[in-house]
Amino acid sequence: MSKSETAKPVPVVIVGSGVIGLTIAHVLTEGAGAERYQVTIIARDLPEDLSSQAFASPWAGANWSPMQYDERLHRWEKQTFDKFWDMIPTGLVLKLPSKVYFEHEDAESQVWWKDIVRDFRVLKTEAYLPSNVKSGVEFHTVSINPEIYLPWLKSELESRRVQFIKRRLVSLDEAGKLAGEGGVVVNATGLGARSLIGVEDKKVFPIRGQTVIAHAPKASEFVTLIPAVKGDVATYLIPRPSPPGMVLMGGTFQVNNWDTSVDIATAEGILSRAKAFVPALADPETRILSHNVGLRPAREGGPRVEAQIVELPTKGDLVPKLVQGDDESAKVLVVHAYGFGPAGYQQSWGAAAEAMRSLCVLRPSVTSHAFEGTPGTARDRYYLGISLGGVVQLNNPNVALGKMRARH
């Protein structure tokens, strides 16, 4: 029997069951070598909690839609686009005709993503709709329905014997205890990374998104407007693959706004802007299905995907406490993956591959079976993460016990 056949699987505890935690679990448990991991997902909100506003994933459009250029994100977005494109035959992903309108001239010169989407071309002037539009492009992108996609991911994972536990964690050490020494913790907690003890990343903030979901069978294109001056409202309509005729209209991008209640004036604005861009909404079959608010889990400086060695207490109850000595602590490999803001779906597969790279670089005994790309880049980033972040210790004297307990 070979060494790899006898090796015990590495316990991996993923905290978070949004699109990021689920996709990382999918990548870890796919293909040859997947038996090397024994994956448990622990989360306050699971894919069936589709009406919970405590996590972002159920509230997304969700399509692949161009955002600002960034080399790292560009890589993830290309990888994710290609993956979704390949999934079109499954019916989970819609091949979506799309138009992006610009309030400025010469849109094409600012479009960095034309080689990612398919069938890209510049629109002729007569195709423009409202008078404020100065230029435009059309292409094919992809969309999914999170209410179908998230449960699908969960069922895939269950068929691979991934265990799901519904529980809110107060501190990272609770996950560390489950993983045990030599195990791995993946922190995919979205906005939760702001308050989870052991992480407490104050760069994390919400971007409030209000939307309207409608049955609008004649609106079959993704349409969005890129304004000359960016504000906190947006104009977009995203058709979903199913149920037939379902579209999502947006929206808002309200930075640092934690309000999860629906604002009626905002809803009226969303509808009137959408009608101006999509004449098909005037069809008598159009009807509103729901008004929604979700909080995008953003982070100053962009998403954090990196590995760290974290020292966690391993004994005692679940109440976080200062650790007295080394005998009560263990070093656990933590892979962080949070802060995806408005683009968690369209970066999900690329970011999951990056998380996998970080894990494999740290655990050379585990063969990397699932990641594509350049290991050298990941290794550089990993070492950078260690040298900048160092070892996070819950017995850090700068962390006051009173502060920890005050959160209960």
Label each residue of 130-179 as H, E or C. Answer: CCCCCEEEEEEEEEECHHHHHHHHHHHHHHCCCEEEECCCCEHHHHHHHH
- Nearest of 293, 321, 298, 294 to residue 194 by alpha carbon: 298
345 is in an annotated binding site: no
Among 84, 149, 338, 371, binds ligand FAD (CB under 6 A): 338
Cα 206 from chain centre:
13
75 is in an annotated binding site: no
Q: Is 43 in the site for ligand FAD (CB under 6 A)?
A: yes
Nearest approach, Cβ of residue 55 and ligand FAD (Å): 4
User: Which H helix or E strand runs over 75?
Assistant: helix 71-86
Query: Contact region for ligand FAD (CB under 6 A) — 25-33, 273-281, 304-312, 343-351?
Result: 343-351
> Distance (Å, rounded) from C-alpha 119 to C-alpha 116?
10
Q: Is 355 in the site for ligand FAD (CB under 6 A)?
A: no
Q: Are 204 and 193 in contact (CB under 8 A)?
A: yes
Contacts to ligand FAD from residues 149-188, by CB under 6 A: 168-169, 188
Q: Which is nearer to ligand FAD, 266 or 329 (CB)?
A: 266
Among 12, 13, 18, 359, binds ligand FAD (CB under 6 A): 18
**How many binding residues for ligand FAD (CB under 6 A)?**
42
User: Which H helix or E strand runs over 358?
Assistant: helix 344-362
23 is in an annotated binding site: no
> Distance (Å, rounded) from C-alpha 308 to C-alpha 326?
18
CB-based burial label for 363 (10 Å; 0-12, 13-18, 19+): middle
Q: Which is nearer to ligand FAD, 339 or 366 (CB)?
A: 339
Contacts to ligand FAD from residues 276-305, by CB under 6 A: 294, 296-297
Q: Is 147 in the site for ligand FAD (CB under 6 A)?
A: no
Binding mask 234-273 for ligand FAD (x = CB under 6 A): -----------------x----------------------
> Distance (Å, rounded) from C-alpha 52 to C-alpha 399?
31
- Nearest of 16, 38, 6 to residue 160 by alpha carbon: 38
| Interface with ligand FAD (CB under 6 A) | 15-21, 43-45, 54-57, 59-63, 65, 168-169, 188-192, 196, 209, 211, 251, 294, 296-297, 338, 340-346
